[in-house]
């Protein structure tokens, strides 16, 4: 993923906001902004980063949306949780905010795919999906990353829609999907066995709803799974 150079005007202001967002995430991950402590005021952050206050405000709004900070009326913004610094090493510089936005995009796209798959799957699709699910289960038992296997399960569900546009869009945005799966799977290896199992259980619920041709249940289960994956990127590590 390539991004334009940051600047403080026009559409570039949003991109600069993404960079400020990422810098604040890094400072939280490094403990420079500790959990439960108040962030510097907007004006001070603008001074620290050499940015305008609207750009800083844009970054803070995304941090709130992502659950990293929380606003307290009349008091300011406070750090809510500390993400693992690994996420900053796994995404291109300046693109962390876009990775999160892509999860938002996926939540709608893949929920619709699961719903269509529940309506349209054929025996060959069932075999493909079950093979992918079982392969992912094997990765879990062996303690392997399973990022590619995770993608294959989601790809198999897209194929089961019977709609070529779901397949095409996964090909078109293949690098974006790859980063999302790689980051979340890598972080999951640092979680408890129960947390790791819960992710696989989410997959099983989706697959069960698809094979039962429960369209709404499949839609909702997939949407929960993607939004949970997005939230897990920033789960606190202490």
Instruction: Assess whether pLDDT exceeds 60 at residue 206.
Output: yes
237 occurs within a structural domain: no
Check residue 190 and give its pLDDT. 81
Check residue 235 and give its pLDDT. 75
Which helix (H) or strand (E) element contains residue 103? helix 96-120
Query: What's the CATH number where 63 sits?
Result: 1.10.10.10
Query: How many C-beta neighbours within 10 Å does residue 50 have?
Result: 10
2 occurs within a structural domain: no
How far is residue 193 from each of residues 169, 180, 231, measured CA to CA in Å? 33, 21, 18
- Residue that has been written with the tokens 């609207």 in this structure: 54
Under the banding of pLDDT at 50, 70 and 90, the label for residue 236 is low
Q: Is the alpha carbon torsion for 115, 118, 162, 200 positive or negative? A: positive
Query: How many C-beta neighbours within 10 Å does residue 171 have?
Result: 10
Question: Are residues 77 and 174 part of one domain?
Answer: no
- The region of weakest confidence among 40-49, 56-65, 109-118, 226-235 is 226-235
43 occurs within a structural domain: yes
Domain that holds residue 166: 92-232
Query: What's the CATH number where 167 sits?
Result: 1.20.120.530
Q: In sequence order, what DSSP letters do the residues of 53-70 get, joined into one string?
A: HHHHHHHHHHHHHTTSEE
d(CA 116, CA 122): 12
Check residue 9 and give its pLDDT. 39
Under the banding of pLDDT at 50, 70 and 90, the label for residue 2 is very low
* Residue at which a domain ends, from 82, 116, 145: 82
Question: Are residues 164 and 67 part of one domain?
Answer: no
* Residue at which a domain ends, from 82, 113, 129: 82
Question: Are residues 205 and 118 part of one domain?
Answer: yes
Give, rounded to a whole angstrom, the gap between the first and last alpha carbons of the chain: 31
Question: Are residues 169 and 127 part of one domain?
Answer: yes
* Count of domains for the chain: 2
Instruction: Assess whether pLDDT exceeds 70 at residue 59.
Output: yes
How far is residue 204 from each of residues 106, 187, 200, 210, measured CA to CA in Å? 19, 20, 6, 10
3 occurs within a structural domain: no
Helices (H) and strands (E) in the chain, counts: 11, 2
162 occurs within a structural domain: yes
Question: Are residues 200 and 115 part of one domain?
Answer: yes
238 occurs within a structural domain: no
Question: Are residues 47 and 131 part of one domain?
Answer: no
Question: Are residues 186 and 122 part of one domain?
Answer: yes
**Mean pLDDT calculated for residue range 142-149:** 92
Question: Are residues 111 and 65 part of one domain?
Answer: no
Check residue 233 and give its pLDDT. 86
State the average pLDDT for the chain: 90
**Mean pLDDT calculated for residue range 54-81:** 92
Question: Are residues 61 and 166 part of one domain?
Answer: no
């Amino acid at each position: 993923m390539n991004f334009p150079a940051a600047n403080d005007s026009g559409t570039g202001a949003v991109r600069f906001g993404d960079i400020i967002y990422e810098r604040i995430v890094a400072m939280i991950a490094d403990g420079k902004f500790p959990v439960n402590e108040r962030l510097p005021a907007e004006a001070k952050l603008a001074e620290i980063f050499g940015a305008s206050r609207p750009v800083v405000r844009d970054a803070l709004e995304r941090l709130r949306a992502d659950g990293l900070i929380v606003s307290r009326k009349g008091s300011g913004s406070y750090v809510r949780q500390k993400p693992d610094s690994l996420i900053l090493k796994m995404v291109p510089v300046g693109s962390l905010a876009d990775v999160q936005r892509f999860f938002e995009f996926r939540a709608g796209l893949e929920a619709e795919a699961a719903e269509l798959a529940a309506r349209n799957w054929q025996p060959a699709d069932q075999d493909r999906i079950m093979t992918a699910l079982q392969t992912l289960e094997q990765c879990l038992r062996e303690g392997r990353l399973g990022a590619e296997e995770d993608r294959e399960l989601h790809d198999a569900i897209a194929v089961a829609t019977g709609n070529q546009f779901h397949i095409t869009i996964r090909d078109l945005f293949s690098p974006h999907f790859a980063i999302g799966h790689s980051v979340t799977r890598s972080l999951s290896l640092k979680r408890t066995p129960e947390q790791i199992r819960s992710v696989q259980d989410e997959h099983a619920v989706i697959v069960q709803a698809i094979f039962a041709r429960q369209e709404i249940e499949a839609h909702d289960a997939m949407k929960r799974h993607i939004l949970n994956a997005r939230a897990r990127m920033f789960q606190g590590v202490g």
